[in-house]
């Protein structure tokens, strides 16, 4: 983990409310692992004061890629940033994904901006066969994986309004895939990130179908190192802790580690 002043190489809008930023970060790009994140301070003034957490969505040579959407003052400042500007960046932080067993079926399921850490994982799975399922509100909210990480990957799309792909939540695509599998086939390794309803549904499915799953959680946090206590989530009963800190213990967890009733 290191704090650095990183220069913006590019910052472009890729759909109705998502931007892709490339930061010149030779050290971080080399050391970052899929599932990790960075904390970015977007202004030297007191407004906004706190850093914002962002998943690393990929690397390319010396570039570290950040995918984000505008949801408040901090990200609005980011959206107007241009080439040559510098941000204070702390990272890479957190626990990343466990590299999957190549013997089983690998499935990635993302929802909305939650596809970001999965794009980085997909970038590192080039030598493995895997399925990628992604859900969005509508066609104009789709985030094109090829444009983000520079690698063309087949993605099964679901949209809430049916404007493209399957009409309905992306979990319905996952349900169809699992229902159509031969029970004698090798186990599923599933990786997911997205909105709470999607994650809760996948947690229920993992109990019923008993597939192995890791989840990347999104949480508000001020420090990124476990000091502020702002990102605590309740652990499932029987675990060694009552609560986990998303920043320090995660953001990636075994899906069975979280108390989903309270999440």
Q: Which domain holds residue 35?
A: 2-93
Does any domain span residue 60?
A: yes
pTM, rounded to two decimals: 0.93
Phi, psi of 257 (to 5 degrees): -80, -20
CA dihedral 53, 94, 104, 173 (to 10 degrees): -20
Burial class (CB in 10 A: 0-12, 13-18, 19+), 212: middle
In this structure, is residue 216 part of a structural domain? no
For residue 89, give the CATH number of its domain.
2.40.30.10
- The pLDDT score that the predictor gives to residue 46 is 64
Reported as a pLDDT band with limits 50, 70 and 90, residue 183 is low
User: In 3D, which of 93, 104, 128, 124 has the Cα closest to residue 224?
Assistant: 93
29 assigned to some structural domain: yes
Residue 245 lies in a domain: no
Residue 232 forms part of a structural domain: no
Q: What confidence tens digit (pLDDT) does each residue in 60-112 have? A: 999 999 999 999 889 999 999 999 999 999 999 999 999 876 677 899 999 99
* Proportion of the chain above pLDDT 90, given as a percent: 70
Q: What size, in residues, is the chain?
A: 263
In angstroms, the CA 85 to CA 82 distance is 6
Domain-embedded: residue 62:
yes
Q: What gap in Å lies between CA 221 and CA 240, rounded to an integer?
A: 23
Between CA 80 and CA 57 the distance in angstroms is 20
Would you say residue 222 lies in a domain? no
What is the per-residue pLDDT across 188-219, written as a single tens digit (0 to 9) for each?
899 999 999 999 999 999 887 778 899 999 98
**Residues linked to residue 235 through DSSP beta bridges, in sequence order:** 258
d(CA 206, CA 107): 13
Alpha-carbon distance of 255 to 253, in angstroms, equals: 6
Looking at the structure of the chain, the number of domains it has is 1
Q: Is residue 81 part of a domain?
A: yes
């Amino acid at each position: 983990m290191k704090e650095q002043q990183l220069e913006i190489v590019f910052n472009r809008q890729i759909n109705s409310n998502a931007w892709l930023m490339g930061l010149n970060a030779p050290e971080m790009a080399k050391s970052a692992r899929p599932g990790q994140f960075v904390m970015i301070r977007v202004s030297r003034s007191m407004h906004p004061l706190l850093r914002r957490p962002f998943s690393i969505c990929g690397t390319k040579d010396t570039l570290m890629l950040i995918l984000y959407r505008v949801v408040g003052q901090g990200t609005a400042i980011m959206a107007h940033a241009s080439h040559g500007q510098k941000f204070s960046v702390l990272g890479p932080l957190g626990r990343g994904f466990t590299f999957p067993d190549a013997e089983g079926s690998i499935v990635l399921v993302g929802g909305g901006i939650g596809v970001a850490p999965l794009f980085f994982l997909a970038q590192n799975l080039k030598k493995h066969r895997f399925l990628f399922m992604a859900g969005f509100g509508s066609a104009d909210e789709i985030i094109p994986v090829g444009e983000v990480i520079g690698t063309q990957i087949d993605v099964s799309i679901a949209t809430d309004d049916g404007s493209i792909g399957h009409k309905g939540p992306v979990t319905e695509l996952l349900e169809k895939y699992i229902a159509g599998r031969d029970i004698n086939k090798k186990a599923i390794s599933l990786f997911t990130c997205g909105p709470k309803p999607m994650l809760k549904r996948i947690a229920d499915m993992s109990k019923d179908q008993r597939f192995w799953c890791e989840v990347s959680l999104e949480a508000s946090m001020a420090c990124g190192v476990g000091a502020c206590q702002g990102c605590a989530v309740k652990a499932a009963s029987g675990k060694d802790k009552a609560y986990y800190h998303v920043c320090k213990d995660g953001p990636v967890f075994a899906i069975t580690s979280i108390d989903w009733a309270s999440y």
